[in-house]
Amino acid sequence: MQAIAVTPTRWGIRILTAIPVLFLIFSGAIKLAHHAEVSRSMTHLGMPEVLAPAIGILELACVVLYLIPRTAVVGAVLATGFLGGAVALHLRVGDPLPTHTLFPIYVGALLWAGLFLRDARVRALVAHNR
């Protein structure tokens, strides 16, 4: 099998990586800061508000793992699971599909696209499975 030839610019890779990372950092930080919108959202989703800080810590831990090159794949896998849980919660309460329910999927797709472009191991894995 031939490896996939990807030659994006460094800035393109950085931007593609930064978008989901910044979103997840913001999301985790407001959960730790006990922001009023988090309280409203947790109530809407049927989650105890007391879980918000723990969820924020998990979110930030996934980001840290994702940003460290040696653990980036583990971070992406864990973040994907985390985001999948968010999709399930939004589906359960009947939130709008394109804006609320699918938004975690958009974030996950950007995470994996950024990782694909910056990690040759992921590109090799994808090429190997073609």
Find out whether 20 and 129 touch, Cβ atoms under 8 Å: no
- In this predicted structure, what is the pLDDT of residue 3? 59
Average pLDDT over the chain, rounded to an integer: 93
- pLDDT for residue 44 is more than 70: yes
- In this predicted structure, what is the pLDDT of residue 12? 87
- In this predicted structure, what is the pLDDT of residue 10? 85
What band does 5 get if pLDDT is binned at 50, 70 and 90?
Answer: low
d(CA 11, CA 98): 28
Q: Which residues, in sequence order, are CB contacts of 86 under 8 Å at separation 6+?
A: 104
pLDDT digits (tens, 9 = 90+) for 46-80: 999 999 999 999 999 999 999 999 999 999 999 99
Find out whether 62 and 75 touch, Cβ atoms under 8 Å: yes
CA dihedral 61, 56, 86, 18 (to 10 degrees): -60
pTM: 0.88
- In this predicted structure, what is the pLDDT of residue 128? 79
Phi then psi for residue 6, to 5 deg, are -125, 120
